[in-house]
Chains A and B, each alone.
Chain A
Amino acid sequence: MSAILPPSNRLWWKQPIDKVEWAWIAIAFVWGMVMFAMMVYWHVYGNQNLSNEAYKTTPELFAAKAEKFIAENTIRTETEQAIPVVKVPAGGDGYLIARLWAWYPILELEKGQTYKIHLSSMDYNHGFSLQPVNINIQVIPGYEHVVRMTPTKEGTYAIVCNEYCGIGHHSMLGRIYVK
């Protein structure tokens, strides 16, 4: 009779399905296929795909590589804390450390160049949130994520941490310059 009683037709699985219901099921199915195809399509023809390149690492290993990169490519320091501004070689590798509670160092990029930016965390989970572009990537301790990025516009960009990482979370703000 109703949804709170056993089906009135004991052989309910033999009841034919109405045309309208079939049509809706078909629409839902086809739409699911379209959405599935869109993701694959974008991997082939789209220009915004998250990199598949990632390695297991440790905070010590990653920090050593980043320090070497910073020592070789620093062009100046900024703020009272003398945070190094590091010019990433065009088409080359840049390292960005996420730690409590800073993004280190400041990176300087050029518009239209493609960079391999290595991301990892020294401690907790952090969230790389590039603003105002609004690209968001999870940064996890023990994993080195190599993301290829091509800036499309000049300007000063902020990196907000958008994964909760403790009491100083809101002060974890980094910077990227695009010349």
Chain B
Amino acid sequence: MASTYRTCPVSGLQFENHAEKLMRWNAVAGVLWLLVGGITALLVILTRWPAIKLLPADQFYLILTAHGIDMLILWILFFEMAVLYFASSTLLRCRLAAPRIAWLGFWLMAIGGIVTNIAIFQGESSVMFTSYVPMQAAPHFYLGIILVAVGALLGVAVFFGTLVVAKRDRTYQGSLPLVTFGALTAAIIATFTILAGAGILLPTFLWSVGLIKEIDAQLYRMVWWGLGHSSQQINVAAHVSVWYLTAAVIFGAKPLSEKVSRFAFLLYILFLQLASAHHLLSDPGMSAEWKVLNTSYFMYFAVMASMIHGFTVPGAIEAAQRRKGYTNGLFEWLRKAPWGNPVFSGMFISLVSFGFLGGISGVVLGTEQINMLMHNTFYVPGHFHTTVVTGTTLAFMAITYLLVPVLFQRQMILPKLCQIQPYLFGISMSVLGLVMMGAGTLGVSRRHWDMAFSGAPFQYEWPGAAYLMMGFTGIFGVLAVIGGGLWILLVVGSLLFGKKLDGGKVSTRPTPIPDQSQAASAVAHGSEHVGVPGTVVLALLLFVCFVLYYFVNWKYLSEVWLLS
């Protein structure tokens, strides 16, 4: 089928028909996995809430395995495929390269996801998301994940191909837009992440069917985290791109400096792969030198990249708002931002929560010696619920409020509830992350069914504060599930019952992006430099919190038993 191009009358975005259909299917598949992940989240929360303790142990571990796989792999990967096709075909206004390959990728991912879920729900594969050997799952557990990885790799290849198509067809002038550049970063990280995944999951699959006798448990952990952590860096690159996209669409915001923002993305590619080391800080098999060198990501270059984005994204918004005349005081630009628009409010809560909670806790957790205070405690899921959930998932939820009208041509139903949803989900999930970290600081274990240790030969009584934190975990966890469920209802409801919108003109040829370098440079000279004092204050606040929290943990560490 030949390509046709639809220009959305609201946004001016141009959708190629193949890419459009793929984006829709991938986004919808992602939402369905989020639904499964959300139901399992509720069951996990209601079991870890000491006052309720809903499920028996075997079902709890089964459901927790499903929750990890369905959320971290399936929901996010499917949505990211839609983001990749959007950032290439739509933003560059070109046809999608090899849509058949993209569909093959989609179906491999869908089938793989279902196969792995079948393995989990059959009950013989409650090995958790990390599936550390020598604990063994059924062979089709690994096979399903391998299929998902191959499918994702095909999607990434189609993304790269589409960039080539756009270049060859000259649909844009000059360099890639920043958002596409960020998506390219995500795709490059995805490529070597998936290769690391193949490097460990293929042997593990062969081991599960009996063709390989043994896999070294330490080696598995090292290579597996090349997949496990790096895949979270794909998410970071993707959601930072979505932040820039939101700032551009809502405010017409322009990056403070193309050079700085692109350089920061480049740092992700160069240094994030080493982040897998910080899962091994309390392991026996690596030396302290190896740990220090790798966790400092060669002197924290990747942390620096995130700190740069954390400055340039709000900075770009502030500059755009000040150009519009919101120049009073430090924060008029922020007060007068469209807080009632869920695309913006969701994106901004995502930015703040990721920076203040997820970012700071992650760096502290990844400090070699301090890691001993937190390794495998409830602190760890507390940390990543404020990176991958309030960071990535909330950013994706927010941008969906934009995608439903422009991509699916449906008006969002129940606009009042749409306004509330990012606050309900973002704030309750942020508090959830905080109280989980609180419980972890008191020692409570992650992936643990019973704080009362029933059946153990001894007793150990957790401090009362730990039970309090776990109670809060229950309450805010349920609120967060309601917030997430509301989003699914609103999105699915809008797709089914939302008012149909005009799709705009369809043409058989793409309209290239006009070359703006001439006109724009004249404008740029007129509007020259705008200061961003409000962003400076916010950034310094982040820095002060960061430094204080970092050293408080060294203080805690200095008080435990002596270790050498």
- CB within 8 Å of B: which residues of A? 1-10, 12-13, 15, 17-18, 20-21, 24-25, 27-29, 31-33, 35-36, 38-40, 42-43, 46-52, 54, 79-81, 83, 102, 114, 119, 123-125, 127, 129-145, 147-152, 158, 160-175
Specify which chain A residues have a CB less than 8 angstroms from the CB of B532 in the assembled complex: 20
A142 to B217, CA, bound (A): 8
Q: Is B91 an interface residue (CB 8 A)?
A: yes
When the two chains form their complex, are residues A169 and B449 in contact, meaning their CB atoms are under 8 A apart? yes
Chain A residue with the shortest CB-CB distance to B520: A8
A residues near B57, Cβ cutoff 8 Å:
167, 169-170
Evaluate contact between A1 and B288: CB separation under 8 angstroms.
no
- From 291 to 340 in chain B, residues with beta carbon under 8 angstroms from any chain A beta carbon are 292, 295-296, 299-301, 303-304, 307-308, 311-312, 315-316
**Complex: how many Å from CA A22 to CA B281?**
33
A36 to chain B: closest residue by CB: B296
Known pairs A49-B288, A170-B449, A170-B455; A2 contacts B562 (CB<8 A)? no
Bitwise interface map of B from 236 to 261 toward A, beta carbon under 8 Å scored 1, else 0: 00000000110111001111111110
Which residues of chain B from 508 to 535 have a CB within 8 Å of any chain A CB?
Answer: 513, 516-517, 520-521, 524, 529, 531-532
- A-B contacts at CB below 8 angstroms, number: 309
Q: Is B554 an interface residue (CB 8 A)?
A: yes
Known: A133-B560, A170-B453. A162 touches B253 (CB 8 A): no
Is B9's beta carbon under 8 Å from chain A? no
In the complex with contacts A6-B173, A48-B369, A142-B216, A127-B445 CB distance below 8 A? yes
CB distance from B54 to the nearest CB of A (A): 15
- Chain A hits for B135, CB < 8 A: 124-125, 165-166
Q: Which of A43, A138, A158, A173 contacts B376 (CB 8 A)?
A: A138
Chain B residue, CB-CB nearest to A79: B457
Name the interface size band of chain B.
35 or more
A132 to chain B minimum Cβ distance, whole angstroms, is 6
Chain A's nearest CB lies how many Å from the CB of B437? Answer: 13
Contact bitstring B523-564, A, C-beta under 8 A = 1, else 0: 010000101100010010001001100100010011011111
- Report the Cα distance A139→B17, complex, angstroms: 53
Beta-carbon contact of B376 and A136 below 8 Å: yes
- Given contacts A123-B134, A129-B443, A134-B560, whether A21 and B260 have CB atoms under 8 Å apart is yes
Residues of the B chain whose Cβ atoms lie less than 8 Å from the Cβ of A21 = 256-257, 260, 311-312, 315
B264 vs chain A, min Cβ distance (A): 9
Q: Which residue of B178, B218, B281, B446 is within 8 Å of A143 (Cβ)? A: B218
A4 pairs with B245, CB closer than 8 A: yes
> Cβ of A32 and Cβ of B300 under 8 Å apart?
yes
Smallest CB-CB separation from B533: which chain A residue?
A20
Q: Please indicate the chain B residues that have their CB under 8 angstroms from the CB of A160 in the complex.
A: 443, 445, 448, 453, 460
Can you list 10 A-B contacts with CB-CB less than 8 angstroms, sorted by A residue number? Answer: A3-B248, A6-B513, A20-B536, A48-B369, A124-B134, A124-B135, A125-B132, A125-B135, A138-B282, A164-B447
CA distance A130 to B562 in the complex (A): 13
Report the nearest A residue to B313, measured CB to CB. A3
Partner among A32, A145, A167, A173 whose Cβ is within 8 Å of the Cβ of B304: A32
How far is the CB of A102 from the nearest CB of chain B, in Å? 8
Known: A32-B300, A136-B372, A173-B456. A2 touches B513 (CB 8 A): no
Q: Say yes or no: B299 contacts A31, CB within 8 Å.
A: no
A4, A8, A148: most-surrounded residue (chain B CB, <10 A): A4
Question: Does B172 interact with chain A (Cβ within 8 Å)?
Answer: yes
Q: Are B367 and A38 in contact (CB under 8 A)?
A: yes
**Is B177 among interface residues, defined by CB-CB distance under 8 A?**
yes
Are the CB atoms of A3 and B179 closer together than 8 Å? yes
Closest B residue to A175 using CB positions: B458
B308 CB → nearest A CB, Å: 6
Which residues of B are found within 8 Å of A79, using beta-carbon distances? 457-458
Contacts of A142 in B (CB 8 A): 216-218
Interface residue from A3, A9, A50, A148 paired with B372 (Cβ < 8 Å) = A50
**With A4-B248, A9-B524 in contact, do A18 and B256 touch (Cβ < 8 Å)?**
yes
The reply to whether A3 and B457 form a contact with Cβ atoms under 8 Å apart is no
Given the known interface contacts A21-B256, A132-B443, A167-B61, the answer about A6 and B172 at a Cβ–Cβ threshold of 8 Å is yes
A165 to B449, CA, bound (A): 12
Complex Cα distance A165/B550, Å? Answer: 31
List 5 extra interface pairs beyond A2-B254, A166-B61, CB under 8 A: A135-B373, A148-B563, A163-B132, A168-B455, A170-B450
Q: Which residues of B contact A163 (CB under 8 A)?
A: 132, 376, 447
Q: Which residues of B contact A47 (CB under 8 A)?
A: 558, 562-564
